Amino acid sequence: MIWEAIIEPFLQFGFMRRALLGCIAIAVGATPVGVFLMLRRMSLTGDAMAHAILPGAAVGFLISGLSLGAMTIGGLVAGIVVAIASGMVSRLTTLKEDASLAAFYLISLALGVLIVSTRGSNVDLVHVLFGTVLALDNAALILLCSIASLSVFIVSIIFRPLVLECADPQFLRSVSKLSAVTHFTFLALVVMNLVAGFHALGTLMAVGIMILPAAAGRFWTSSIGGLMVISAATAVLSSVSGLLLSYHYSLPSGPSIILVAGILYGLSVIFGPAGGLVVQNLPRRHYKQ
């Protein structure tokens, strides 16, 4: 029973194995970035950046169709341009960075949907917005695994400045010139992982595999290393479970993966030992001296 329900789909079908490998690559590369997004209170920034890559990917689609290379380059360029433009607006005007980023992301989302819907079909629009994780080919897997490896490598190099910036950004600025470099490198990592997630989960779902496992992991540990491990494990478990739900019940694969991650987040909120609702409301013993 367990063999037929859990293991056999991945052994029998190559598209299920490719989908699982792609999701694992995204989980390993994106969850450490998601952890630092959460610790820096930038979770909604990740959502905004996910929408910001849409017009670039749409232009790539317009030029070369569903070309992996064109859509990847377009998404990277669009994401980096939006990140830099929103930062410049916040520094040169009175508008805060969150407001400028929200403005750019809304414009990007509308422009991207307009481009795809004008020059493509409804199927193409669904592909761009929600991804096709079950249709990953070998070229896409090589791209996802390469981005995941590069992301883990860069995070390991800038790990200490990232931790310092989460704890006390003013201190990092006063003792090191790496503050700005760390910040923009981190934004580049966010864009890079969102572009990777875009190919499997689409622009609307890519940020989910980055943020939800990190938010769930926060209720199980307070150490950054442990948080990264638990977040990655949660993302992998969500991917396996979502793919199996999609296979057995003919559900959309991307939303299934994100919904499983959401369920795990909800369970963590309730039962997590590091600040979950149950622990917070347990009666506390009072000791007499």
pLDDT in tens, 137-156: 999 999 999 999 999 999 99
Name which of 43-52, 186-195, 201-210, 211-220 the model is least confident about: 43-52
Please state, in angstroms and rounded to a whole number, the distance separating the CA atoms of residues 217 and 228.
8
The pTM assigned to this predicted structure is 0.88
Residue type, position 82, single letter: V
* Among 30, 22, 254, 31, residue whose Cα is nearest residue 143: 22
> How high is the pLDDT of residue 284?
66
Structural domains for the chain: 2-270 (1.10.3470.10)
Query: At 124, is the pLDDT very low, low, confident or very high (cuts 50, 70, 90)?
Result: low
Tokens of 173: 């600025």
Query: Mean pLDDT in the chain?
Result: 86
* Among 206, 210, 219, residue whose Cα is nearest residue 265: 219
Please state, in angstroms and rounded to a whole number, the distance separating the CA atoms of residues 79 and 57.
10
Please state, in angstroms and rounded to a whole number, the distance separating the CA atoms of residues 23 and 145.
10
pLDDT at 113 > cutoff 90: no
Tokens of 50: 């996910």
Please state, in angstroms and rounded to a whole number, the distance separating the CA atoms of residues 158 and 150.
12
Please state, in angstroms and rounded to a whole number, the distance separating the CA atoms of residues 241 and 247.
10
CB 238 within 8 A of CB 209: yes
Q: Is the dihedral of CA 76, 98, 210, 16 positive or negative?
A: negative
> How high is the pLDDT of residue 80?
86
Give the 3-state secondary structure of residue 252.
coil
Rounded to an integer, the average pLDDT of 258-282 is 92
> How high is the pLDDT of residue 121?
64
pLDDT at 204 > cutoff 90: no
